[in-house]
Amino acid sequence: MNIYDNNDYIDNEEDILRDIIGSTKDKDKFIIFKVENERYAINIKDVVELVRYDDEKITREVPNIPPYIIGIMTLRGLVFPVIDFKKKIGIPGGNYTKFNIIIVTEDSENNRFGVVVEDIENILPLRESTTKPPEVGNINVDFIKCISDFNNNMVSIIDIDKLLKA
């Protein structure tokens, strides 16, 4: 999903992103995003909202944080860590722009955190019958719940409860 039209910024972007989440919250759908050539998915039920990356909203100088945590963010009165997904899976991360998206999510213990991704590719339904356990490869699979096949594309479904702990 590209919320930019010819790379122009859409003024009501927050409303568009909020509408996407709100319109799909009751369905069994997943937010699909790509990192390098791999696709990953987060269940829409675990997503609080999508926000555009803004360096001014993130405090980076936080002592004693793991290298995959960019910093902390304050959004709507709540403070939570922001994870660089690339660094989390062992790929050098780094350059963030207004074109990156932060997927704000909550685990089963109501711990909120953001996950920075390059862009959201799609929102798709994925059925349990199309899933299989994760395979060990060159990525950290500790937080991968299962692998799903969608239109002959492998999608790794993320277990939000394990993402911070892995």
Tokens representing residue 33 in the block: 């995003």
Instruction: Name the CATH code of domain 13-163 (choices 3.40.630.30, 2.40.10.220, 2.40.50.180, 3.90.228.20).
Output: 2.40.50.180
* Averaged pLDDT score across all residues of the chain: 77
For residue 26, the model assigns a pLDDT of 46
Between the alpha carbon of residue 42 and those of residues 27, 116, 166, the distances in Å are 13, 12, 16
pTM attached to this predicted model: 0.77
Angstrom distance (rounded) from CA 38 to CA 165:
21
User: Which residue would you say has higher pLDDT here, 28 or 128?
Assistant: 28
> What's the pLDDT tens digit per position in 81-136?
999 998 888 888 778 888 889 999 998 888 899 999 988 888 888 765 455 555 65
